[in-house]
Amino acid sequence: MPSPANTKASDKQQAVKKLTTLLQKDYGKSVPRLKLPVVETMLFAACLEDNAWDSAQAAYDKLLRSYFDLNEVRVSSVGELEQTLRELKGAEWKGLRIRAILRFVFESTYSFDFEKLTKLNLESAQKKLRKIEYISPFLMNFTLQQCLGMHVVCLDDSMTAAAKHLGIVPPDADVDAASEFLKAGVRKTDAFGFAHLLKCLSVDPKYTARLAEPVEHDEFDVLKVSDRLQELKSPKPKKAAAKKTPAASKTTAEGDRKKSSTTTKSAAPKKPAVKTPAGKKSPSKSAPKKTGSKTASKSGASKSPKKKK
């Protein structure tokens, strides 16, 4: 079994191809298309991160409808933008990033025309985008892919978690490391389609709860991606044995309590039987007389030293 660092590019390609075929059976082969200017592409990417494509499209359209123009969006508060995008997961971060994007572009160009980014090479474009406050790896890579046609694999946090559960990226990889790891296994022309299928899986309500749990694989092997996907789709085995033990002890304890209470209740009728013979207690009434005689003898003994005097 190769370590993540020694995984062959051919193994990555085989795993990606196999996973693509399996996911296409669930989510289809069609891939959405996006043709927007650079700034609008970045705003859409902010909506798309950790959300489904349809949800992002609806939120993006609502954003443009809710404000007069992009300048009004730029001067709005984060709370107002969050309220507009409240249907999306992570709406507060999206509002913060959208405002940061518009502020950076406006302060750089005194407009919202950022098409000059498309004239830069990969290194220069990355350097330019990193100057934007709060920009995420997904937002940057999505912009580079859609606007510059760069060979990148766009992953967000939810997609990275799905890739870890499928065993196609190292379990300790962050978003940047996971994207770079998969790059060798995905052709440039297939990168967007593969990322779209992985996103469909990562936001599928049937699996989001499982994907949020820690990865439990004992070994790392990208070629086991089919088995990992089947494990994800299968119902999680219940650990009932550990949970039943305390219940049994509680049942035993309750049984002991019931037995003790039954014993106590059965012993209760015997007490009146002891108290019934009232005549037997009459000798005890003469006890004070005996006590009195003893007291008298003691008092006489105490007076005897006076007689000796």
d(CA 197, CA 19): 9
Query: 283 versus 64: which is more confidently predicted?
Result: 64
**Is the per-residue pLDDT at 251 higher than 90?**
no
Question: What pLDDT digit, counting tens, does each position of 281-304 carry?
Answer: 444 444 444 444 343 334 343 444
Q: How deeply is 241 buried, as exposed, middle or buried, from its count of CB atoms within 10 A (0-12, 13-18, 19+)?
A: exposed
Task: Write the secondary structure of the chain as one string of H (helix), E (strand) and C (coil).
Answer: CCCHHHCCHHHHHHHHHHHHHHHHHHHCCCCCCCCCCHHHHHHHHHHHCCCCHHHHHHHHHHHHHHCCCHHHHHCCCHHHHHHHCCCCCCHHHHHHHHHHHHHHHHHHHCCCCCHHHHHCCHHHHHHHHCCCCCCCHHHHHHHHHHHHCCCCCCCCHHHHHHHHHHCCCCCCCCHHHHHHHHHCCCCHHHHHHHHHHHHHHHCCCCCHHHHCCCCCCCCCCHHHHHHHHHHHHCCCCCCHHHHHHHHHHHHHHHHHHHHHHHHHHHHCCHHHHHHCCHHHHHHHHCHHHHHHHHHHHHHHHHHHHHHHC
Query: 222 versus 278: which is more confidently predicted?
Result: 222
d(CA 206, CA 158): 14
d(CA 157, CA 163): 10
Q: Give the number of residues written for the chain.
A: 309
What are the structure tokens assigned to 264, written together?
Answer: 């106590």
What are the structure tokens assigned to 195, written together?
Answer: 């990322």
Q: How confident is the model at residue 242 (pLDDT cuts 50, 70, 90)?
A: low
Residue 219: the pLDDT is: 85
List all residues 6 or more positions away from 276 whose beta carbon is below 8 Å from its beta carbon.
none
So what's the architecture of 4-233 in CATH? Orthogonal Bundle (1.10)
Mean pLDDT, the chain, integer: 84
Residue 6: the pLDDT is: 82
Return the domain boundaries, the chain: 4-233
pTM for this predicted structure: 0.76
Whether the Cβ atoms of residue 201 and residue 23 lie closer than 8 Å to each other:
yes
Query: 5 versus 1: which is more confidently predicted?
Result: 5
d(CA 81, CA 95): 5
Label residue 147 left, alpha or beta by phi (over 0 means left) and psi (-120 to 50 means alpha).
alpha
d(CA 174, CA 155): 10
Question: What pLDDT digit, counting tens, does each position of 175-215 carry?
Answer: 999 999 999 999 999 999 999 999 999 999 999 999 999 99
Q: Give whole-number Cα distances, 162 to 1, 48, 257, in Å.
A: 21, 16, 50
For 102-114, what is the mean pLDDT? 97
What are the structure tokens assigned to 275, written together?
Answer: 């108290």
Angle at 276 between CA 272 and CA 280, to 5 degrees: 135
Pick from 129, 156, 127, 155: nearest CA to 39: 129
Angle at 192 between CA 167 and CA 128, to 5 degrees: 105
